[in-house]
Amino acid sequence: MRSLHHPLLFTAAIAMSALLSCQKQAEKDGQISVKAQASVANIGEIKLQEGVLFYPSNGVSNINSSTVALEVGIYDQLVYATKLTEAQQQGLGATLALHLNVYAGTAQTEPFGYLYYFKTAKGAAVPSAANDPTLTAAYRNGRVEMARYILPYLATQWNQSGLVNITTSSPVVPYEFDISAFASALKDQDSTVWIASSQGQPGNSSYTYKTDLALKSSGNTDVDSWQKDNYTLPIVGFLNMGSTLTQTKSLTKSFTVPADIVDAKLRVIYTGPEGFYTTNVLTLDNQQVDSYSTRMVCTPEARYQQRNPSVANGSVQAGLWNYPTRNYCQSDSVPPHTTLLANKLLPGSHQLKLDMTQNAAGYHDYGGSIAISISLIGTRASNETQ
């Protein structure tokens, strides 16, 4: 199989600008205030996006009144952003999951998909037209990645004539992502919160995916009673580090916490080039706190035959798509790596460093780039509210 992941050719200056923007948003999110409120009924389920088409040749379609389309001009060029109402925010419980269905279209590639939240000023309205500049800037500079996934390999046909017909009877690949770690951030009553969905463009605007996205909620809605994961600080909201064909890359980031943070966890979402995996070493305040490999084993083969329609129907030779060592598995989620810190974090400034040492996966030397997000999640030990 020929991989068609598109390298993100950001310059070092652009990457640094994005990193600084993420830091500004991180500092803002560190001051989130979730107002005390009486317990309200759990919202249960919010249908964020239904029947949206990514990269149709004739423009966006099938978006509801709470959703707006943005063209951000980078790898994941088309973004759908859905606003949560105040009532929906208040009705979110401590346990949250995003449910995504991807319906088979035509795309001879398996690009990445991303799910984010970002915030705007309290009471912000859904723009009446696509590509609102204020909302686009908020997305680009303040997005916080909650989940990442790999789309299935859908080479069911090549269709150069335009938009393909996809229905709910088309082969569907389901995904589920636990985003409970971000529950308190999504309940922020001082901001308007948006859920954003984006996908890497599959090579040609004639090839497309159709998706449904829902947010499912359960558990207690009173944030004051939550005892875990009620402090979220995006250290790196999302960063692309460019080509990974050098042996080692490092990322150093400073962040500040306003109070003692106990049960603190570092949550890292990472993908790299197809032909390599890396050994990642996390250092906090000059002390190593973790070392792990990003290598994934994509077995059993039957699982991926079921989740890749073009493999299941025999249009791709069995085995060509299934690389035993790589940074990701087609049609699957990218599991975040979580590091539990042994000691509480004291108020003040801290420095995090991530060293990524490249290892060959033993298949093809495909290029690409490292894409990474890092969040600090824990419990604020003082009486201050987030």
Cα Rg of the chain, angstroms: 20
The pLDDT of residue 142? 93
Q: State both tokens at 266.
A: 């570092």
Instruction: Please state the rounded mean pLDDT for residues 267-283.
Output: 88
- Cβ count within 10 A of residue 196: 27
> How sure is the predictor about 158, in pLDDT bands with cuts at 50, 70 and 90?
very low
Residue 58 confidence (pLDDT) above 70: no
Q: Which two tokens stand for residue 251?
A: 């990322």
Tell me if residue 140 falls in helix, strand or coil.
helix
Beta-carbon neighbour count of residue 152 at 10 Å? Answer: 25
43-56 residues labelled b (16+ CB within 10 A) or e (exposed): beebebbebbbbbb
Mind listing the pLDDT tens digit for each residue in 329-386?
778 899 999 999 999 999 999 999 999 988 765 555 556 678 999 999 998 886 444 4
Inter-CA distances, 324 with 257, 301, 320, 328, 358, Å? 40, 10, 11, 10, 17
pLDDT of 246: 67
Q: Is the pLDDT of residue 161 over 50?
A: no
Tell me what the pLDDT averaged over the chain comes to.
Answer: 78
What are the domain boundaries of the chain? 12-380
In tens, the pLDDT along 227-253 reads: 656 788 999 999 988 766 567 889 999
N-to-C CA span, the chain? 48
Quote the pTM value.
0.84
Q: Which whole number is the average pLDDT over 212-231?
A: 84
Q: Inter-axis angle of helices 133-142 and 12-29, to 10 degrees?
A: 90
Question: Alpha helices of the chain — where are they, by DSSP H?
Answer: 12-29, 86-90, 133-142, 183-186, 301-307, 309-312
According to DSSP, the β-strands at 144-150 and 112-121 are antiparallel
Residue 12 has what pLDDT?
Answer: 38
> Residues 253, 19: contact at Cβ < 8 Å?
yes
Q: What distances in angstroms separate CA 99 from CA 167, 178, 361, one per listed residue?
A: 18, 9, 31
Question: In whole angstroms, what is the distance from residue 385 CA to residue 325 CA?
Answer: 44
Dump pLDDT digits (tens) for 97-148: 999 998 766 555 667 899 999 999 999 999 988 889 999 999 999 999 999 9
* pLDDT surpassing 90 at residue 48: yes
For residue range 251-261, list pLDDT tens digits in order.
999 999 999 99
Topology of domain 12-380 in CATH is Jelly Rolls (2.60.120)
